Structure 1
Amino acid sequence: MRKQNGFSLIELLIVVSVLLIIAAIAIPNFLRSRLRANEASTVASLRVINTAAVTFSITYPDLGYPAQLTALGGANPCPGSSTQACLIDDVLAQGRKSGYSFVWTGDGAVPSVTFIVTAAPQVVGGSGQLMYCTDHTGVIYYDPSGSGCTNASQVLQ
């Protein structure tokens, strides 16, 4: 009888089963980590937007806060103006970053004295779970239901 080299079918099935069990444990943890990273990035982006909005209102006092989010951004090289202030990166100024969509709502006045920015996950449960918002006060709020965020929502600690 000849001696055969290699693994038996049973051995290969056991190895594949172990790998599938490890994947079943690891993949949900990875997805949850990515979701939390997107949410943390969104909170940081809202802080950046707040700082940029205050800087814009100080730099252009006759306008107050910008009428739209794109006014805070600008592509490089960027000289800086009231239509492209170059205060935030252009990706964020376009309203989409880290799986969230950002919507700027101004008060329509000139000079503008209030605004609210809402950040909603592009895929609820996939790119983020919470909806965030901030206003001219600089406070960041969140809504655990993801249905809508206002300054009456819960304050982020």
Structure 2
Amino acid sequence: MMKSNKGFSLVEVLIVAAIISLLASIAIPNIIRARIESNEAAAQATLKTISTALENYYTTNNQYPASTAVLTSSVPPYLNENFFGSTYNGFNFSAPTLTIATYEILAEPSSSAMGTRSFTISTGGVLNVN
């Protein structure tokens, strides 16, 4: 009688494991890079949203607000969400310069896993990559 061998040999299992690890080593960095690029694009879009709100406030009041809180507390609000003081899409937003005549809004990644670049937008909607 012949004995039938069912299953995989150790060599076959090791070859499959090697192929899977090779594919993972190629795919995982690409996924991480895509996530970082997505977070950075979202940060730039958020900066443009904040800048638009500031410019709309300026158009209505002939000056920029003295505080970012005014943008969400106005009736109707210039921003529906307060992006300052918390992490939003992996970025921290702050207003290092905000006077009645000028502004600069900064977006910094909360960690290197969220983004590798920081961004600023200043009076007139000028976006800079830092």
- Could you say which TM-score interval applies, normalised by the shorter chain? 0.7 to 0.9
- Measured on the aligned residues, the alpha-carbon RMSD in Å equals 2.0
**Counterpart for residue 17 of structure 1:** 18
Amino acid at match of 2:101: V
**Counterpart for residue 86 of structure 1:** 77
Percent identical residues = 30
Structure 1: 5+ residue stretches without partners: 75-79, 144-157
**Structure 1 17/140 Cα, relative in aligned 2: closer, same or farther at 3 Å?**
same
TM-aligned CA deviation for residue 94 of structure 1 = 4.9
Please give the TM-score of this superposition, normalised by the length of structure 2: 0.85
1:31 match: secondary structure: helix
Please give the TM-score of this superposition, normalised by the length of structure 1: 0.72
TM-aligned CA deviation for residue 97 of structure 1 = 1.7
**Counterpart for residue 155 of structure 1:** none
TM-aligned CA deviation for residue 93 of structure 1 = 4.9
TM-aligned CA deviation for residue 91 of structure 1 = 5.6
Structure 2: 5+ residue stretches without partners: none
- Residue 3 (structure 1) aligned with residue 1 (structure 2): no
Separation in 2, partners of 1:93, 1:122: 13
User: Higher helix fraction: Structure 1 or Structure 2?
Assistant: 2
Looking at both structures, which has the greater relative contact order when contacts are Cα pairs under 8 Å and sequence separation is at least 6?
2
Aligned residue pairs total 128
